[in-house]
């Protein structure tokens, strides 16, 4: 017989996601997770089995919330250029929000030695980047097919360049964030790509 979960799983997962987002995977201690989730060790291990499983569940929740917002603006815009620019605007909105747990995106924070040292977490990082690259490349190809973008542009390479730049935006925001300066840099970057 399946065991009944004795706590509000969704609320606990949201609290754990917030803590992982704030502190990162390696710096988040199990005792701190148990405290913010409001559960005991027994409930934790019976339900989630390990910190790594919880982290993977939190990444999925992050994808369903923050990732979905970003994906929506990218895919629903009238052109690849406006979608990519809207994506960067949503990122800057996140950086402006005082309720955001960290200046570092939870996905960007995954590119740490501790996370990448674990094969299944590394695979999750690689899958996430490939998925994002594929969505950006898809938008670029759509505009190429419509004749909006230069046919010589390689959507796959440009998508990878955008991913790399976006990772840099998150990292630089940790050091020194100023939205108008970031907006000028993003505009110069995307204009240089023909977007």
Does any domain span residue 136? yes
Cβ distance 184 to 106 under 8 Å? no
Does any domain span residue 33? no
Note down the domain range covering 123: 63-192
Does any domain span residue 84? yes
52-107 tens-digit pLDDT = 999 999 999 999 999 999 999 999 999 999 999 999 999 999 999 999 999 999 98
What pTM did the predictor assign? 0.89
Query: Which regions in the chain score pLDDT beneath 70?
Result: 1-6
Does any domain span residue 3? no
Q: Please report the DSSP string for 61-99 in residue order.
A: HHIIIIIHHHHHHHHHSSSHHHHHHHHHHHHHHHHH-TT
Contacts (Cβ under 8 Å, ≥6 apart) of 68: none
If one counts the domains in the chain, the total is: 1
Does any domain span residue 186? yes
């Amino acid at each position: 017989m399946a065991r009944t979960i004795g706590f509000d799983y969704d609320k606990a997962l949201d609290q754990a996601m917030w803590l992982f987002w704030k502190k990162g995977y390696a710096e988040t201690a199990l005792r701190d997770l148990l405290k913010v989730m409001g559960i005991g060790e027994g409930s934790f291990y019976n339900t989630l089995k390990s910190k790594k499983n919880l982290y993977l569940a939190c990444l999925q929740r992050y994808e369903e919330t923050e990732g979905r917002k970003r994906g929506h603006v990218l895919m629903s815009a009238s052109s690849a250029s406006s979608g990519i620019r809207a994506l960067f605007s949503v990122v800057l909105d996140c950086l402006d929000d005082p309720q955001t747990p960290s200046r570092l995106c939870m996905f960007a924070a995954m590119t740490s030695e501790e996370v990448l040292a674990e094969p299944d977490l590394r695979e999750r990082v690689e899958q996430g980047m490939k998925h994002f690259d594929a969505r950006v490349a898809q938008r670029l190809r759509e505009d190429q097919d419509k004749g909006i973008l230069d046919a010589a542009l390689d959507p796959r390479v440009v998508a990878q360049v955008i991913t790399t730049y976006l990772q840099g935006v998150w990292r630089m925001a940790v050091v020194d964030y100023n939205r108008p300066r970031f907006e000028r840099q993003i505009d110069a970057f995307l204009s240089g790509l023909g977007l």
